[in-house]
Amino acid sequence: MKNLSRLLFTMLLVLSFSNVNAQDEDNPWAVNFGVNAVDVYPVGEDTPQGDFFDEFLNVDDHWNILPSLSTISVSRYIGNGLTAQIGGSLNQIKKWGQFEDNVTAMVNDLSYYALDANVRYNLTKTKLQPVVGIGGGYSWIEEGPYNTFSTSSGSNNTVGAGTLNGSLGLNYWFTDNIGLSIESKYKNSFKEYLTSHFQHSAGISVKFGGKDTDGDGIYDKDDACPEVAGLEEFNGCPDSDGDGIEDSKDDCPNTAGLAELNGCPDSDGDGVTDAKDDCPTVKGLKALRGCPDADGDGVTDSKDKCPNEAGPASNDGCPDPDTDGDGVKDRNDKCPKVKGTVANDGCPEAAPEPTQEVIEKLNSYAKIILFDTGKSSFQSQTYEVLKNITAILKEYPESKFTIEGHTDSVGSKSSNQRLSEKRANAVKDYLVSNGIANDRLVAYGFGEEYPIDSNATKAGRANNRRTEVKLRK
């Protein structure tokens, strides 16, 4: 084939000095190489050429395919799905069309080569990408029996002209960097002596150029810590102790700990970091700096004169009397000698239905129901609260209630959902086992879906870990 060496040299020169813009955000450059087919038949010309798109897919009769590497291009991403591309191709034309008796018009291996530039638009960002393009170029076809325009017939001149190109294509990416590309391009010639034609191509595309300084598989533009190898879930930042909390947010980055404690350890599992726990080897309460309170009265066992019987701190942890036996201690009973209700501060109440104030009272108790960390079992001091809730519900035997469990956003959404359901049902089970009819109660868990405070602070998360009791009409 004539002029092959000149074409290859020109193509390499163009590709080497091309300044067209990017392929995609992560890998800005792409090189495509493959094979092409030239079809001069379905271009709307007289016999031996045919009407537009006539026998468009008739490969055997009309497509001229060079079975070797015959097309190469380079492209760079512009933005918003657009890429700019420049490339070259070569071929040999043996089929020029067909006559009315369906006999193929054959020619003698006419040289074909072209340089093209176009802008392409990717219609999707998925693995399978339809592509449209528009551009222009310059194509050369050696003269033959059906395209001779020289003054001397049969001179075998190679004539060239500019073309306006439109294309449709499809990319399929096997990986982030390697894909298959196919394209069908119509080249409309600006000169009569160069026939307009279709050029089809198929090849392999290789994307490259993304920068990953620390080698963690995350490109620098997306890497919050581009100089230090890290994890994808932390946008490229490290987690030295492997506790699932990135170092920048870990108060104890070299010792594995708990998310709810900002990455610090809690040896006894009481929710108080070892550094702040006055009783680090014995499970206790946050409010008491990690020390235990067996009777749940707010007085640590070491200072409680009645460690197994709840009482106020003012009485050294020993219980106050309840003269009328209504479950309200005399110090809180507004009617200490007349049996009343817990909801009415120890005074009698005849209302058949709980008021909004009663519901608020229930929820004030419900908010101080304490569970063991990450479990649905109650902490010991919670049983006094549950007894009070039971007493209130017994005062309204015809009323029905909904028990709702809520969590903060620490942990996975699915685990929080399960935990909230277990905790709501644990409260319901306690109430049923203590005399509240099962058909009066319904328990639901809502996980982290309905926070009442910010999950960005420790106090907010504590408020979000709650149980609510609502009247069911």
What is the C-alpha separation between 234 and 289, in angstroms, rounded? 32
pTM over 0.75: no
pLDDT for 227 equals: 64
> What is the sign of the dihedral through the CA atoms of 79, 80, 84 and 89?
positive
Domain map (residue ranges) of the chain: 4-208, 213-265, 351-472
Residue 119, pLDDT above cutoff 80: yes
Same fold, 4-208 and 351-472: no
Residue 134, pLDDT above cutoff 80: yes
pLDDT in tens, 180-216: 999 999 999 999 889 999 999 999 999 887 677 766 6
Which CATH code for domain 351-472? 3.30.1330.60
Q: Which of 196-200, 261-265, 378-382 has the lowest mean pLDDT?
A: 261-265
Q: Show the tokens assigned to 51.
A: 């009407």
Contacts of 349 (CB under 8 A, 6+ apart): 340, 341, 343, 395
**If we measure between CA atoms, which residue out of 196, 147, 201 comes closest to residue 41?**
196
pLDDT in tens, 34-51: 999 999 999 998 889 999
Pairwise pLDDT comparison (126 vs 88), residue with the higher score = 88
Q: Which of 15-29, 321-335, 343-357 has the lowest mean pLDDT?
A: 15-29
Which CATH code for domain 4-208? 2.40.160.20
pLDDT in tens, 344-355: 888 887 556 888
